Amino acid sequence: MQRPIRRWQADDRKSYSIIWNVAGTSAPKESEPGVAITAPAPFLRLEGISKSYGGVAALSDVNFGCDLGRIHAVVGENGAGKSSLMKIISGVVRPDTGKIIVRDKQVSFSSPSESSRHGIACIFQELSLLPDLSVADNIWITNPPKRFGLIDRAQQSVAAKQILHDIGCTDIHPSERVKDLPLSRQQMVEIAKALVRKPRLMIMDEATSALTSRDVEQLYRVIRQLRDKGLAILFISHRMHEITALADVCSVFRNGRHIETFAMSSRTVSQIVPLMIGRDVAQAYPQKPSHNLFQASLPRLEIKNLHWEQVINDISAKIGPGEILGLGGLDGQGQKELLLALFGVMRAVKGEVRIDGSSRNIGHPRFAKSPKIRMALIPEDRKTEGLLLPMSIRDNLVLAAAPELSNQGIINAARESVAVEETVRKLQIKVGRLDAPVRTLSGGNQQKVVVGKWLMEEPRILLLNDPTRGIDVGTKQELYRLIRELATSGISILLYSTDYEELIGMCDRVVVCYEGRLVQELGGKDLTAENLIAASLNLTQAGTQSAETKTSFKATHASSSTRAAWRRFWRKNAGPCIAFFVAALMFGLFAAMQPNGLNINVLTSVSNKAVVLALVAMGQTLVIVTGGFDLSAGMVMTMASCLASVVITGSAMEVGLGVCLVILSGVLAGILNALVIVKGRLQPIIATLATGAIYYGIALILRPSPGGDVNEELSNALTYNVGGFIPTTFLIIVCVLIFVWWPFRNVVTGRTCFAVGSSENAAYMSGLPIGRARFAAYILAGLLYACGGLFLALISLSGEASASQGGVYTLNSIAAVAIGGTSLFGGAGGMLGAIFGAAVLRTISDLLFVFNAPALWQPLFQGFILLGAVCLGSIRALRRKNQMDVFL
């Protein structure tokens, strides 16, 4: 048995700081690379590891080790096997052969949670954050501070703040939702999340790719301190200067083989790079043409006084044919928005865009690529914006150019094939079959597909958003050469890059963005690293100190003022609040119209009317939060009510047993649902469609014809009131909220349900117990449906196996959850909203009745109110200024 590494313990609680003596002022001594303070001790060894995917070897016979107290860089081109190696170490994939040895004991990881139990934490290139959860929840996702077994959110928030402070991110508020943060902040949260696990080995896979230079500096300090504290750090980066600045030891991988490991001090970059690519890098950047070539001709693209939403402030620029204009500056100064605005993504852009001298209004990417403009955008994130990963290489390549390659919308396969093959040849994309999913290509080749897709369009203006991010040295060189060739052929190029060297090496001129303005233009001899950095920090103007602190992220986000807190609250809870107001308004109207005033009998009847749907909707909430839908909800409820109509009769003892039996039936249904979904790996919506038929069948067996003899005493006890002023059913709902919902939200398993719904991949990467969380959600949901069925039987005193009733309850429960503001995509929401939603749906008919609405109009009103309620929350979609925000 492997001894687990010491984790969170009571005595750690006083200080949440992960870096013991980090203080802003007394910066600790930074040791020279290659000279670690503590003596290295071996932590992890890999022996003879091989892994292949579909016959292609990703790793072959790798022997590798890393020591505590060392920063160990792993370098190599994309496809060299670095990522596979990291996935094996972190337990995401299992090796085909070979041994993993942690501290002299052989281990085998079947999931990230197992490797994390051995003290290994991994920061992945693809963020493993849960977008709908707060920063604090994300940081403490696996081992939160607890009190009485429940997550201590106050403590958690304090602790998160401390850690963010340690890594220099004072601008992130712990209760901010992660999806509201910009990418660079998300990456810092990711790093904080790995640190709080107090790992012995920390893997950083391209963890700095989106960071601003200030973050990187701060991070270097933290990493060195961790190293000095005796951590082993595995560091993957394509930025050689980062590696030379940080690493003590370096391992080179090539074609799935471990080539060499050496002390960093023993080699220079120019010695390492040939090892990686197996050939010499003659010249990093292609030759630039003479500088004043572009001044004479009419500009291809001219931007005049462009404004957008305080993010782009009065930008004017010109690009000539064949020119490469660089867009520089710190991350998040409006550069990306400028590219998107030019491409027609932004709404309400003020200013003028001229193409070849004539003014153009581009409102959709479709217009941007129209024949008169022919603009192309290589987006920031190739995985979510550039490519359709599961679709074939061919389909991806022809997507943008499709209209030109088809006959009036009908596919011309022959013409497409010719064009696709030509592009593949021209860009030297290494593909096996063109019908293979693009996902199977390496990162560099994927990026070539993105570029190729737009080249097939034969663009005249090319907008590039950090096109070489996370790409290996070899492919980078090819892309540089390609970009210059395209420029030479007459295409105007606007290149945004976070890499200064790239801007200097590639661009004819560079304009530097600062807070949405162009602060300086650099060209010719002025285009130097010093000038670029100075301009990026806006050092040429007053207020130099504030430049760095005011990066992309508005200070208001992190502020703890009451107003900011309210804004955060509203962002998270707008849905339930709206549902509450609608429900309160309706109830107020209803109460005001009561002839005899609002007495307990009226309240009880309203509450009894809503209780069944409320319980079913509360169960449905649990399932929807995990990102599923339970189409069997109404059928489980029907089955339970039929069972209740059979067993809840006779002596008190028998009635008690009957109630237990009814609830047990719901639990069993929940277990069956969870089994087929978790163990059978079926889509919830479709699995519950099938199990629902089974539950309905059972209901028919229990009660072939409507009827039953439900114990009236129990019915009276549970459907009247308590103390003459609170309806019993209302009290039951409150009890469920307190004893089911509240604990559920505050235990790790419950929070995992939110995590799974928010992003299943990220939850898996974080080593969360996904299966257990799903089981809990479905079983609790089944239990609540059964409670709903029990109350239906108690209220109607009989049971009926009706398929339509079951169906109506299922659909209404989803509607109630949606009206209550729970995201139907999972990850956010709550039972309280579902109760309001059920109340709204159930009191509509009463309300219409007291308003003397004609009976025939009532169903129509109900439909409109349902439709109106769900549209209400979506009105904001119409006001979005960035059209990409509407996509998930």
- Identify residue 466 by its one-letter amino acid code: D
- How far is residue 462's CA from residue 493's CA, in Å, rounded to a whole number? 5
Which of 154/855 has CB closer to another protein? 855
Query: Closest approach of Cβ 676 to another protein, in Å?
Result: 6
- How far is residue 236's CA from residue 247's CA, in Å, rounded to a whole number? 10
Query: Closest approach of Cβ 117 to another protein, in Å?
Result: 19
Check: CB of residue 115 under 8 Å from CB of residue 130.
no
Which of 690/735 has CB closer to another protein? 690
359 SS3 class: strand
Which of 6/366 has CB closer to another protein? 366
Which of 619/826 has CB closer to another protein? 826
Which of 164/756 has CB closer to another protein? 756
Query: Closest approach of Cβ 640 to another protein, in Å?
Result: 16
Which of 614, 626, 641, 667 is CA-nearest to residue 836?
614
- How far is residue 342's CA from residue 368's CA, in Å, rounded to a whole number? 8
Query: Closest approach of Cβ 868 to another protein, in Å?
Result: 8
Which of 573/883 has CB closer to another protein? 883
Query: Closest approach of Cβ 463 to another protein, in Å?
Result: 11
Query: Closest approach of Cβ 406 to another protein, in Å?
Result: 5
Burial (Cβ within 10 Å: 0-12, 13-18, ≥19) of residue 45: middle
Which of 142/208 has CB closer to another protein? 142
Provide the angle, in degrees to the nearest 10, between the axes of the packed helices 770-796 and 600-625. 160
Which of 201, 239, 241, 240 is CA-nearest to residue 223?
201
Which of 152/846 has CB closer to another protein? 846
Query: Closest approach of Cβ 361 to another protein, in Å?
Result: 16
- How far is residue 798's CA from residue 10's CA, in Å, rounded to a whole number? 54
Which of 41/411 has CB closer to another protein? 411
Which of 275/682 has CB closer to another protein? 682
662 SS3 class: helix
- How far is residue 744's CA from residue 759's CA, in Å, rounded to a whole number? 19
For residue 119, the 8-state DSSP code is: T
Check: CB of residue 49 under 8 Å from CB of residue 98.
yes
- The span from the first CA to the last CA of the chain, in angstroms, equals 44
Inter-CA distances, 694 with 606, 638, 647, 788, Å: 32, 12, 20, 19
> What sign for the dihedral angle of Cα 285, 287, 292, 296?
negative
Query: Closest approach of Cβ 861 to another protein, in Å?
Result: 7
Query: Closest approach of Cβ 433 to another protein, in Å?
Result: 10
Which of 93/850 has CB closer to another protein? 93
**Residues forming beta bridges with residue 146, ordered by sequence position:** 151
Which of 160/377 has CB closer to another protein? 377
Residue 79, phi-psi category: left (phi > 0), alpha (psi -120 to 50), beta (remainder): left
* Angle, alpha carbons 530-533-535 (nearest 5°): 105
Which of 228/800 has CB closer to another protein? 800
Query: Closest approach of Cβ 543 to another protein, in Å?
Result: 36
Query: Closest approach of Cβ 470 to another protein, in Å?
Result: 17
Spell out a b/e string for 549-568, using b for 16 or more CB atoms within 10 Å of the CB, else e: ebbbbeeebbeeeeebeeeb
Query: Closest approach of Cβ 844 to another protein, in Å?
Result: 10
Spell out a b/e string for 670-689, using b for 16 or more CB atoms within 10 Å of the CB, else e: bebbbebbbeeebebeebbb
- How far is residue 651's CA from residue 662's CA, in Å, rounded to a whole number? 16
Query: Closest approach of Cβ 769 to another protein, in Å?
Result: 14
